Homo-oligomer: A and B are copies of this chain.
Amino acid sequence: MRSISAYSIKLPIIEEEDDLGKIIAEELTAERFDLADDDILVIAHTIVSKSEGRIRRLKEITPSDKAFKIAEKKDEDPRFIQAVLDETKEVLIDYPIFLVEAKCGNICINAGVDRSNVEEGYLILLPKDPDASAEKIGRRIFELTKRRVGVIISDTNGRPFRIGQVGFSIGIYGIEPIRDWKGKKDIFGRRLEITEEAISDELASMSNILMGEGDWCSPVVVIRGLSVLSDDREGIKKIYRDETTDYIRRAIKNFYSH
């Protein structure tokens, strides 16, 4: 019998320039929770973004013509639309949903720009470089605790075909996003056809169950029981499909360009 466990950690409200690694380490100590090597920390991007000042004030945003046009179709605040456009590499659908490839590579609604869990009149953005954010926290935790942990920065996104959001990984440190089953055998000894498991997304989903969406204030989850740490430094980009072989993205771009 193998097992894994996930523990959620409550944190105080995070402000710009907070030392997130230190705050997490201190909260763990306060909870008498000793980190172990191979533990994985899953951290909601919201608190990472806040500590990095990835916040914008609606008042200070001047919408472009493009933002006004999209905002009108959607009956939405053009300043919010402008904030999304500023975080976007490519718009896939602008209406009735606003599906884009965010600059960090994640394909999601509104480029991850959110009005929840931030003060009124402000927007919260995704971290600029979520892998770098994960690395910074992972290294700080090591400095303070001497434990070699993996770090996943997570967000919640919707999915095509299915109702409801789940947790996704948008930045990683110390682990690979894909667990490779290539060359492994099935129960009858034959080569497996399915060979790639998106383990960082599965771990983000697992953690999201404990984080909750609202005022649970549990933006950090520690996962224990796996040995999946790795020195690979390619980061999260390994999980994003190459545009040329993403047949669904191709259909979307073609259909919504009309």
Contact = CB atoms under 8 A, between A and B. Distances in A.
A239 interface: yes
Given A201-B164, A248-B248, A213 B194 contact: yes
Oligomeric state, in copies: 2
Contacts of A119: 188
Interface stretch (A7-15, A81-89, A137-145): A7-15
Given A181-B214, A209-B202, A192 B116 contact: yes
A235 B129 CA distance: 40
A2 interface: yes
A214 B156 contact: no
Interface string A220-239: 00000010000000000011
A208 interface: yes
Given A164-B239, A213-B181, A247-B96, A114 B2 contact: no
Contacts of A56: none
A197 B213 contact: yes
Given A5-B3, A251-B252, A254-B255, A163 B241 contact: yes
A51 interface: no
Interface in A81-130: 93, 96-97, 99, 107, 114-120
A120 to B, nearest CB: 7
Contacts of A177: 163-164
B246 A255 contact: no
Contacts of A58: none
Contact of A1 (B7, B99, B202): B7
Nearest to A191: B116
A226 B6 CA distance: 12
Given A238-B163, A239-B164, A186 B215 contact: yes
A66 interface: no
A190 interface: yes
Contacts of A255: 250-251, 254-255
Interface of A: 1-10, 13, 31, 33, 93, 96-97, 99, 107, 114-120, 156, 159-168, 177-178, 181, 184-190, 192-199, 201-203, 205-206, 208-210, 212-215, 217-218, 226, 238-241, 246-252, 254-256
